[in-house]
Amino acid sequence: MRAEVVLQGLTKQFGQTLAVNRLYLHIQDQELVVLVGPSGCGKTTTLRLIAGQEEADSGEIFIGGRFDSNGNRSNRSLEPTAGRGNHRGSRLWRRTGVCSC
């Protein structure tokens, strides 16, 4: 199963705070990507959007080749625990094939 993740123009705003601004990201199957930046730059929000814990204001998300517009959880085969804490029980953990360290 492909674990490719593609974000196209992903945007998320909380009130007047623009947390993620037109983010484009293509993560290949078996590619390791690290989000690095200062506190408040949108790292956690990006992971929550991918995991379906937040809905995007605009943009598109493709996971494993499946289209998921605006963070629509009904199309996503990931559990809401993905993107934070212990991932071992989430489908994202199993789909990506990441081994424990």
What integer pLDDT is reported at residue 84 of this predicted model? 46
The total number of structural domains that make up the chain:
1
In terms of residue numbers, what domain contains 87? 5-93
Q: What is the pLDDT of residue 69?
A: 57
Helices and strands (H and E) in the chain: how many = 2, 4
Give the pLDDT confidence score for residue 58 in this predicted structure: 95
Residue 66 belongs to some domain of the structure: yes
Per DSSP, what are the bridge partners of residue 63?
5, 66
* 32 domain residue, yes or no: yes
Asked if 71 contacts 55 with a C-beta cutoff of 8 angstroms, the reply is yes
Position 98 in a domain: no
Question: What is the pLDDT at residue 92?
Answer: 52
Local confidence pLDDT in tens for the 101 residues of the chain: 678 999 999 999 999 999 999 999 999 999 999 999 999 999 999 999 999 899 999 999 998 888 765 545 444 444 444 444 544 444 454 455 555 44
Q: Partners of 8 in the beta sheet?
A: 60
CATH code for the domain of 72: 3.40.50.300
